[in-house]
Amino acid sequence: MKTQVAIIGAGPAGLLLGHMLRAEGVDCVVLERQTGDYVLGRIRAGVLENITVNLMERLGLDARLKAEGLVEEGFNLADGERLIRIDVANLTGKTVVVYGQTEITKDLMDAAAPRGLEVIYEAGDVALHDIESDAPYVTYTKDGAAQRIDARFIVGCDGFHGPSRKAIPASAAVEYERVYPFGWLGILADVPPCNHELIYANHERGFALASMRSHTRSRYYVDVPLTEKVEDWSDDRIWDELAIRLGPDAAANITRGPSIEKSIAPLRSYVFGTMRHGSLLLCGDAAHIVPPTGAKGLNLAASDVHYAAEALVAHFKRADQDAIGLYSGKALARVWKGERFSWSLTKLMHRFPEDGPFERAMQVAELDYIASSTAAQTVIAENYVGLPV
């Protein structure tokens, strides 16, 4: 098989890129090692910045997002009994939309066949070859048979553990990483949210987050040591802990119910120092990971896709020989700003094991300043709603 762009990974980044390229008349094929049902079964974030919403709108795939997404005009930082509301809409003139990553993926998957986007699921043993040449290719197995796709470019949208980033030689790799000493224990339940806006809480017992997926489905988190096991946390234990950490006002409005899903996700900040090597481009988690604090993961992937599609279309449609070379710098500039925001909000709202009274006093001082400063709130709001691309 021959194509102009081979895309590895059929998560939201890979599918979004595929749709954008097809809309511009660029040939592409998407490879995914899992089944479609498995991809849809992954529970992920759901706060969408303008960039993600705008890309879905440009593709004409935003009907369900508009109908079911929850427009959020602000969010809250809690410290003990204090609730600091960040009025995103008034401070920036923009909003975010709560719409699950699973729903974005479903919309993109459902539109693939009608729009001529070829997605090959259950592609095993995917390997990238000759990425430093102008004629890279991908090999994989399907139904026990060896297959090959020749392309001009390969785009890795295959996550942190996929083969794309690993195909870049060690001599060209520069990695930046911060591993956090805790994970987020999450519970998903079909109960109404305790607040119509997200609450990030810093409590002496640890961090908590109250969020939602819809008016009837809630997503809550508490941070726990990495040694904890999800089996040791019954639903009742999680609900009890949330009621303490979120504070009395939120606790009074918590509706308890059986969990649909529970898991512990470790937290890490990670950036791969280049997002392009030869004929290989990286997008999303293949190139960078952010803590979920601030909801930047999916949205950074969307901005990567925006820049990648822009570069690839310029190359194929306008014979712009410089566009591909500019991709990594453009994407990384926004990635690092997203990393900075996620890191700073994580530091502000979590109690780190190595921190002492001084570090706690700094958190209190910072929250006091945010509570009393429109300028500080504006900085947070601008980053939360999404910086320009």
pLDDT at 326: 97
CA distance 335 to 176: 12
Q: For residue range 101-144, what is the model confidence (pLDDT) as tens digits? A: 899 999 999 999 999 999 999 999 999 999 999 999 999 999 99
Between 80 and 104, the higher pLDDT residue: 104
The mean pLDDT of 328-355, rounded to a whole number, is: 97
Class of domain 5-51+98-176+268-345: alpha beta
Query: Strand, coil or helix: what is 368?
Result: helix
**C-alpha dihedral over 249, 250, 252, 256, to 10 degrees?**
-170
For strands 145-150 and 137-142, give the pairing: antiparallel
Residue 109 phi/psi, 5-degree rounding, is: -65, -45
The mean pLDDT of 217-231, rounded to a whole number, is: 95
Under DSSP, the state recorded for 2 is B
CA distance 283 to 288: 8
Q: Choose the weakest-confidence range: 76-80, 357-361, 377-381.
A: 76-80
The mean pLDDT of 60-65, rounded to a whole number, is: 96
CB 218 within 8 Å of CB 100: no
pLDDT at 287: 98
pLDDT at 43: 65
CA distance 63 to 71: 14
Over the chain, what is the mean pLDDT? 95
CB 294 within 8 Å of CB 383: yes
Work out the percent of the chain whose per-residue pLDDT is above 90.
93
CA distance 246 to 259: 19
The mean pLDDT of 215-230, rounded to a whole number, is: 95
pLDDT at 46: 83
pLDDT at 321: 87
pLDDT higher than 90, residue 382? yes
pLDDT at 228: 96
DSSP 240-269: HHHHHHT-HHHHHTPPP--EEEEEEEEEEE
Question: Domain ranges in the chain?
Answer: 5-51+98-176+268-345
Inter-residue long-range contacts of 323-328, CB under 8 Å, 24+ positions, other chains counted: 324/153, 324/276, 324/281, 325/276, 327/275, 327/276, 327/281, 328/274, 328/275, 328/276, 328/281
pLDDT at 82: 85
Identity of residue 194: C
pLDDT higher than 90, residue 81? no
pLDDT higher than 70, residue 196? yes
pTM: predicted TM-score of the whole model, two decimal places? 0.94
Which residue intervals of 319-354 are DSSP H helices?
Answer: 323-349
pLDDT higher than 80, residue 83? yes
CB burial string 12-25: b at 16+ within 10 A, e below: bbbbbbbbbbbeee
- 100 pLDDT band (50/70/90 cuts)? confident
Q: For residue range 251-280, what is the model confidence (pLDDT) as tens digits? A: 999 999 999 999 999 999 999 999 999 999
